Structure 1
């Protein structure tokens, strides 16, 4: 019998007793401050309520969808076409993270950071975010007292983090100043404009903006990279997705599909979820303990205990997923009629977390990933270059170590 009661107990049933905890907040405080992903208790509840209202607001969802469509068609596909014509190999993961950086930045601030420019120039903000994430990973590897000392002395990775945070804070401050100047006449539907309409607290707006940028930038780009790598190893799955697209275009009598067509792409959806099962964006979750408790498994946890749950390992456990748990099998997400199953029954699939802290931007992220994946598959043949080992990078976000090196070829009949 599959017993996932401990996960449900921690993430939902006794949620208030298992916050992020002081250890987690301390590690991430320089980056996220008191933002929604780094807060607990009443502060988190207030921010979650605001975020829920925003992401379910029809106008914002429409704005986010239009943003994704514009960034994909005008920037991502244009860049890929240029790279394809050059005949050179390139790092697809870098391109996809640049795409999610531009898309997320536009959704948060209302303007792009131009990460998808020709020549793939270094973008100071994205370089700084990479440095911060690397430094935070080192904090997890070192005793707390040791990295605290390095921070006080401004040495090593703590110096790298401080320098990177100066770049990030300046970028966000510039955006906040622009919002203040345009506040009276702006009708923008971006996230920062929505939050600025209810709060003038610069610290709160800064923490909110950086939290959403950090959450959206790497996560979708990493997931898409694993998706294309898995498709390269499973051509039968790719064939099903392309056939699904062909049928949809035939039914709608259009040359190009629209964002609303994504709801009909069940094979694509199932493949994205199967990718996230095998390669969850956040491979390990962390919780603290407020009061002594007994988990459904009988384990006693004391106040101050740090609980880690391995989402990556859970996705590969035979007793949860069956004997084919290590195989890429999107069909497991479909019922006998070919319709999508409920993805989180029994708390076995935690790629989007679970309980009250389920990813607030899940639906927006899925539209972003599915639309980009569908358009790339429709317009290009992507071939993974042999000779380099594809494996996870030790990091907070599960990216591919050293990137995903590919070559692209334009299809004869392209849809852009």
Structure 2
């Protein structure tokens, strides 16, 4: 009987969904209308294919850069790009703005109790352990070695062969494969061999993608009961998610068990991957370690590859910036890749500028644990969700000036009076919150810049990355747990001649 009722409920909800989809899909407006019971769900549906752009427009439409979106059944989502509000949420009142039950429930099947899906003591514990491991010189050196090996032994040869054959590559896919191999080596000490000339389909990588995509779609449903009923019935996308998560966890757990056995056999511990360091530290609970590692894979693979995908597209549209980066690379050493990249100032500024316009995580949501008032006067009630929107913030004239829509790395630089050399001038983390800010600021930020700058040095110093697209074509920025370029990034690779 309970299954019959659940089926009837699912059919009713599906009918309502398709009613909105087919009959009201063309109702679009700059500012959404709100109706009794359903709120602004008609506008939400109508803009589902440009969700982050639409949400960004709502933020920009408000004088205070804060907009309250009314969802079905009285649920309200506060969207903000107000710098003072962001600092308030991420730092001043960090104690009351948490991941929240809604977000945790939505992502629990995929991320479990990993660091990106927990609050309180559990988060503090994982943060403390992770912070210690990320700050070791040994891990940094290991990361450099992993990146260099993947760059020289795999990426550059693949690009060279592609240039020789004049083939078209999906550069987004290539960069995801590069990042996936890297993060698996750094996290697990395991090489999935995902970036090979034959571009193999790794079962774990495909399952990871499926789990991330379906988990993201859960956020879009008007009410959670949609996906919860499908989960109970083991139906549709929820059935696919269950299979994908099972594959992801099975793979990760196998790696954890093998790593435990490997460490037990060693008389001296010399492993430096994150998993080994967690296990050596005494954190041996299999479920806990699996959740932590999966979270690191999500962060380490998708964020850097997303950032670099958009970076190379922007570089192809801005030859002056590309020339400056090339000068910086060739000015350091005869080799287009060099060991120390921290002083690649113009390259660093270019990466920051690219992520300002196309942040890897374009929106992040918190839940209020108590009533509050934001600095701009917005009233927040207990249980309400509040989202700061880096994608919108990177497009605010009040923060970046009239030329906010221009790719201009120089906005991050100043000339040193004595030498005339560029000096990087960072923005405060609440204006530029691409890596979050406050207590939850990204632990892997420096590791990400290290990886990205090494890739830029290796690729730009040797090749031109030329998009295969008609003039005037703009790729579509899509919203998920991390951002992507819709349809991939088809390019041709040209060998750069010495000048």
Q: Compared with structure 1, are the counterparts of its residues 343 and 66 closer, same or farther at alpha carbon in structure 2 (3 Å cutoff)? A: farther
For 1:300 and 1:94, locate their aligned partners in 2 and report how far apart those are by CA, in whole Å: 43
SS of 2:487's partner is coil
1:189 paired residue number: 272
Q: Deviations over 1:63-107 (max 9, x none)?
A: 111111111111111222222222111100000000000011100
1:118-142 per-position Cα deviation (integer Å, ceiling 9, x unaligned): 2111111111111112201210111
| 1:349 and 2:432 aligned | yes
Q: Is the 2:309–2:489 contact (alpha carbons within 8 Å) kept by the matching residues of 1?
A: yes
Unmatched 5+ residue regions in structure 2?
A: 1-63, 66-81, 417-421
- Other-structure match for 1:362: 445
Establish whether residue 228 from structure 1 lines up as the match of residue 315 from structure 2. Answer: no
SS of 2:98 mapped into structure 1: coil
Alignment partner of 1:50 out of 129, 133, 145: 129
Q: 1:69 aligns with which of 139, 148, 157?
A: 148
CA deviations on 1:209-266 (whole Å, 9 max, x unpaired) are: 10101111111011100000000100110000001112112xxxx4343231x12211
**Higher Cα radius of gyration:** 2
Residue of structure 2 equivalent to 1:21:
100
Is residue 121 of structure 1 aligned with residue 208 of structure 2?
A: no
Contact between 1:222 and 1:399, CA under 8 Å: does it hold in 2? yes
CA contact (8 A) 1:138 1:157 kept: no
Deviations 1:9-45 (A, max 9, x none): 1100111110111111111111111111111011111
Q: What secondary structure does 2:465 align onto?
A: strand
Tell me the TM-score normalized by structure 1: 0.95
Shift of 1:277: 0.3
Secondary structure class of the residue paired with 1:90:
strand
2:364 aligns to what SS in structure 1? strand
Inter-partner Cα distance in structure 2 for 1:318 and 1:179: 51
Per the alignment, in what secondary structure is the counterpart of residue 248 of structure 1? coil
Equivalent-residue separation in structure 1 for 2:474 and 2:362 (angstroms): 20
Q: Aligned-residue CA RMSD in angstroms?
A: 1.6
Q: Counterparts of 1:242-391 in structure 2 under 5 Å? A: 242-249=326-333, 254-260=334-340, 262-337=341-416, 338-344=422-428, 347-387=430-470, 389-391=474-476
Cross-structure match for 1:209: 293
Note the C-alpha offset of 1:362.
Answer: 0.6
* 2:255 matched residue in structure 1: 175
Partner SS for 2:128? helix
Alpha-carbon separation, structure 2, partners of 1:355 and 1:255: 38
Q: 1:407 maps to what in 2? A: 492
Given that 2:170 and 2:491 are in contact with CA atoms closer than 8 Å, whether structure 1 keeps it comes out as yes
Q: Is the 8 A contact 2:110 2:215 kept in 1?
A: no
Larger relative helix fraction: 1
Q: Is the 8 A contact 1:20 1:287 kept in 2?
A: yes
Whether the 8 Å contact between 2:112 and 2:291 is mirrored in structure 1 is yes
Conserved 8 A contact 1:218-1:397: yes
TM alignment of 1:32-111, pairs within 5 A: 32-111=111-190
Q: Distance in 2 between matches of 1:389 and 1:230?
A: 10
Tell me by how many angstroms 1:310 deviates.
Answer: 1.3
Larger RCO (alpha carbons 8 Å, 6+ apart): 1
Q: Distance in 1 between matches of 2:98 and 2:87?
A: 14
Q: Shift of the alpha carbon at 1:389?
A: 4.7
> Which shifted more, 91-100 or 79-88?
79-88
Name the counterpart of 2:245. 165
**What is the alpha-carbon distance in structure 1 between the residues aligned to residue 477 and residue 335 of structure 2?**
37
Structure 1 residue 323 displacement after superposition: 0.2
In structure 1, C-alpha distance between the alignment counterparts of 2:405 and 2:411, rounded to whole Å: 12
